[in-house]
Amino acid sequence: MGIMWVVGISASAPRDPADWIEDMRWHRHMFRQSYFRWVPEHPTTIALRWTKGRVVFETPAHLRVLEDQLIELRTYAAGIEHAMVPRLAEAQARSTSRDWEEGLGLLGMSQKDVELLRFNAPSRFSLHRDARRALHGWPFPNPYSQVWELMQMRSMYTAAEDLLEDAFTDLVVELVPRHGWRNLSQILQSNRSERALQSFVEWHRRRRGEPGDRRRELVQTYPPQ
């Protein structure tokens, strides 16, 4: 099957569920992992959109604003996760048990991941534009490949969230000597306790390191095939 012939197939061509796993393998191979690609500039642009262009954060008031913006960004990005739920439900309902397990492996997901997505998804929601954008443009779509592309879009927003989290925790560390953990925790919308704020910063440092750490690099990554 030649590449030009494959690309010429209608993206809406129906495929039997028995073909979904092979099509998903083909999808990752054909597009060298994913159709949707992002580069570091994309999550940076998203983060700046939520901060309204602000790049310097210096005061406790800025800390409160950063937390608010991070919450808003997470709420928006959760819509991408919600769009995965009906597609995962279709995949599970129409696949054999073996194909379902293999499909989850290709997605880099576990059954617990699926259950968590279902638990967090509202009963009704609107598909926002970025989720719609992730669902079009390639041949032989099926629920597995659709979830896969939604995951790539979500990873871009996760990278933007990481940028805001980096700024938030770095500012906390900078402000603590002058203002103390308790005062900083009391100004936050989340009403974190003093200990909860400390634990969050410690967890973030273990996960992302300090400014300049290579773990903070913005890179689109994929689970093994």
The angle subtended at Cα 189 by Cα 185 and Cα 190, nearest 5°, is: 75
- Looking at residue 14, what is its pLDDT? 65
Higher pLDDT, 212 or 7: 212
Match 């129409």 to its residue by tokens: 94
Q: Which residues contact 173 (CB under 8 A, 6 or more apart)?
A: 201
Question: Using CA atoms, how far apart are residues 55 and 105, in angstroms rounded to an integer?
Answer: 39
* Residue 101 or 1, more confident: 101
User: What pLDDT is attached to residue 169?
Assistant: 96
- Could you read off the pLDDT of 49-91 as tens digits, one per residue? 999 999 999 999 999 999 999 999 999 999 999 999 999 999 9
Half-sphere exposure of 28 (CA within 13 A, CB side): 21
pLDDT digits (tens, 9 = 90+) for 13-51: 567 899 999 999 999 999 999 999 999 999 999 999 999
Rounded to 5 degrees, what are φ and ψ at 32?
Answer: 50, 50
- Look at the pTM and tell me if it is higher than 0.85: yes
Query: How many helical (H) and strand (E) elements, i.e. helices and strands, does the chain have?
Result: 9, 0
Q: What is the pLDDT of residue 8?
A: 33
Q: Which residue has the higher pLDDT, 35 or 127?
A: 35
- State the angle between helix axes of 194-208 and 143-186 in degrees (0 to 180), rounded to the nearest 10: 130
Structural contact between residues 66 and 167, judged by C-beta atoms closer than 8 angstroms:
yes
pLDDT on residue 160: 97
In this model, does residue 4 exceed pLDDT 50?
Answer: no
Q: What's the whole-number mean pLDDT along residues 151-158? A: 97
Using an 8 Å Cβ cutoff, are 64 and 40 in contact? no
DSSP secondary structure string for all residues of 24-66 = HHHHHHHTTT-S----THHHHHHHHHHTTT-----SHHHHHHH
The pLDDT value given to residue 13: 55
Using CA atoms, how far apart are residues 177 and 181, in angstroms rounded to an integer?
9
Is 29 within 8 Å of 21 (Cβ atoms)? no
Positive/negative CA dihedral, 41, 45, 47, 51: positive
Contact 114, 33 (CB under 8 A): no
What is the C-alpha to C-alpha distance for residues 187 and 181, in angstroms, rounded to an integer? 10
pLDDT tens for 157-194 read 999 999 999 999 999 999 999 999 999 999 998 778 89
Helix (H) or strand (E) run with residue 23 in it = helix 20-30
User: pLDDT band at residue 11, thresholds of 50, 70 and 90?
Assistant: very low
2 falls in which pLDDT band (50, 70, 90)? very low
